[in-house]
Amino acid sequence: MRRTLEQTLHRGLRSAALWTALCVGGLGALGSLAVLQAQAKRHLDLLARTVAYSVEAAVTFRDAEAAREAMQAVLNREELAAIRIELGDGRVFAAVERASGWSSSLEAGLAQWLPLQAQAPVLPEDPGRGRVHVQTSAAPLLWLLAAYLGVALATVAGTAGLVLALARRVERQITTPLDTMRRLTRSIRADRAFDRRAPGADIEEFHALAEDFNALLGMVQAHEAALLRQQELLAQHNQLLRREAFSDTLTGLANRARFRQEVAGALERAAGEHELAVLFIDADGLKRVNDLHGHAIGDRLLQEVAARLRGALRDSDCVARLGGDEYAVLLEPLLQREHLPLLVAKIQAAMQAPLPVDAQLSLQPSVSVGWAIYPSEGTDVDALLARADEAMYANKRARRASPRELTDEATA
């Protein structure tokens, strides 16, 4: 199971703090024990010499009672456990002792750690005269040892707390900038906000990391902007290609491919539920205009016919130039068949205005119109276009009685 950096640091620093506190406490305890041993030994040696000085006369004159009185005074004053005087031949000359208390059971155990006994010659210049043996009580030493242990434990606790506080501070200094970087990275990835930047840090390595990260974000932001610009250019280029692929370059209307797509889609949507109509329109006299005035004037005529068709129809109607002088219109839906003759009359009326070309020439646009209705006259694109084409030529033949399909009018 993976751990976070904060958990790892917390565990490691806490372990280091506890081991440091234990080491400090252990060393302090050992040092305290050494100090206690030295002080106890020095104190007992001093008491032994003091007792020896007090009983020197009594031992010299073999006054055991005087010796016991002197030793009892020292015993009461110094809280010793026992005092005895041994002569040079090993006999006990005099001895006093305190009644055994609760500490007597611990004296045997403490004897190997703390000095509880000391001795001194009665006469330093004559060691064979006799020796004074002093045995201290364990109670004062136990209290002193408890005090030392309390100080040691307090030292351990204080050291542990201090080290843990310092470790926690170091932990925050390490984890805070990393956590800030982690949250920033996650938000940038989620929002794709490459304009955001990481804040600086007090630690030099983290500050350098933030600067490098910000530099990388700048590179990513610039790269993304370049990609977006390239994507926009590609979209514009694709849109242009689509217009060129499905639009007539001369008139801006839909071309044959686009018109067939529109009709196919309309047939699929209709599915026999409602009617629609396809108009087939021919610009009359285009060949004669091209022959007399050139293709530029003929193109001008085709553009004008396209514009007038667009103006006579609804915005939702698809108007297309199939090629040459042929146009087509998709009416979807066809609400009433009776509207078709009215619409054709509207288209013819839109063509009545002359088309001025220059100061000396104007053209009179004219169109022939035929239509086919789905589904009664065709159920697919080809059938509808073929039927509308036939109807257009029938209309054109019916209009042949007119003097001219297209007239040139000279103006002064």
Annotated catalytic residues are: 325
Give how far Cα 91 sits from Cα of 17, 70, 87, 208, 323, Å: 59, 19, 5, 86, 148
**How distant, in Å, are the alpha carbons of 169, 171, 176, 181 from that of 13?**
10, 8, 16, 23
Structure tokens at 273: 């539920």
Residue 319, amino acid: V
Whether residue 77 contacts residue 90, with contact meaning beta carbons closer than 8 Å, is answered with no
Q: What's the distance, CA 383 to chain centroid?
A: 61
Q: What is the dihedral of CA 288, 294, 297, 301, to 10 degrees?
A: 30
Joined tokens for residue 158? 């204080």
Contact 292, 360 (CB under 8 A): no
Which residues face 130 on adjacent strands? 87
How far, in Å, CA of 105 to CA of 329, rounded? Answer: 122
CA distance 151 to 18: 17
Q: Could you tell me if 88 and 70 are in contact, meaning their C-beta atoms sit under 8 angstroms apart?
A: no
Could you tell me the two tokens for 203? 């630690």
Tally the C-alpha atoms within 13 A of residue 251's C-alpha that lie toward its C-beta.
28
Whether cis (ω within 30° of 0) applies to the bond prior to 199 is: no
401-404: Cβ within 8 A, 24+ apart: 404/285
* Residue pair 135/81 in contact by the 8 Å Cβ criterion: yes
368 beta partners: 282
DSSP secondary structure of 249-292: TTT-SB-HHHHHHHHHHHHHHHTTSS-EEEEEEEETTHHHHHHH
What letters, b where the CB count within 10 A reaches 16 and e where it falls short, cover 65-90? ebbbebbeebbeebebbbbbbbbeee
Tokens 């370059």 map to which residue?
A: 249
